[in-house]
Amino acid sequence: MIVYTVWVSDTSVTVEGALEVVPLGDALGAEIRGVDLAGDLSDDLVAAIRRAWLDHLVVFFRDQELGPDEFLAFAQRIGEPVEYPFVRGMDGYPEIIAVTKLPDETVNFGGIWHSDTTYLARPPMGTMLIAREVPPAGGDTLFASMYAAYETLSPGMQRMLDGLSAVSTSALADVSKTREDRIRDNGNEATESETFEAEHPVVRTHPESGRKALYINPAHTARFVDMTEAESAPLLQFLFEHAVRPEHVYRFHWEVGSLALWDNRCAWHNPINDYNGSTRRMHRITLAGDEPR
């Protein structure tokens, strides 16, 4: 059912058509219908897409026929594409990386709950992923709202977390495991041996919505600032489990031509590794962000 409609216009007519935004989950997720992302997108249409994205944290488009040029062009309308630190981009398109799992591989890329590269001083604002080849079954991606994760904590827990910062690092074992194969085949020689580390607030205020979101994640957060990993572990584990309660999560099923745009400032994602023996091939663009506050 279409829940609400955003009307957009161009310079030649008052009303161009209806952009349908269909919420998919209570906590996050919406499908945007009625738009061809390879077309000439008006400023009004891009603004409507961006509003839906900010409202729903992750938005999905179906049946998009985008080559690398069109994919990059759409990303540039939403934000600033940047190169991923550990994996080389495609020939001629350094901002686009291939996220691929082949039939003989058993570990998928990024197969753990996370927000992308929070070990950077300025983590990405968002990420775009488009499906090029999908397995006959499986390969879905889970998304979780960090607004909901924070807002459903007790007032006392919120007050305590509001004053904490945490250390994110690229050196955690789980992160290394999920990128080993891709670094071996496509690694960026300038960064693959580096370790990145950054301190960020445990609760960040979204720079556009003004809402507070939990800003830690199992893949990159090692400890709280001024605490040891052992001291930090019990509370981090509680928060990691709380964040992915079923009511905070939406599961997306990919088809060829599906495109997802998610907000790394307030959402986690986790690609499910349940399709051994099949190929899953995606193209990804990362959008530059700001310093979390």
Catalytic residues, by residue number, are 114, 116, 269, 284
* Residue partners of 200: CB distance under 8 A and separation at least 6: 118, 123, 165, 166, 168, 215, 292
Q: For residues 78 and 76, what is the distance between their CA atoms, to the nearest angstrom?
A: 5
User: Measured in whole angstroms, how far is the alpha carbon of residue 266 from the centre of its chain?
Assistant: 9
Neighbouring CB atoms inside 10 A of 230's CB total: 8
Between the CA of residue 61 and those of 9, 95, 260, what are the distances in Å? 20, 21, 7
**DSSP-assigned beta bridge partners for residue 145:** 267
| DSSP H helical ranges for 145-251 | 146-151, 155-162, 173-186, 229-243
Q: For residues 277 and 243, what is the distance between their CA atoms, to the nearest angstrom?
A: 31
Q: Look up residue 120 and give its DSSP letter.
A: S
Which three-class secondary structure state does DSSP give residue 82?
Answer: strand
User: Measured in whole angstroms, how far is the alpha carbon of residue 249 from the centre of its chain?
Assistant: 13
For the chain, give the number of residues. 293
Q: For residues 240 and 77, what is the distance between their CA atoms, to the nearest angstrom?
A: 33
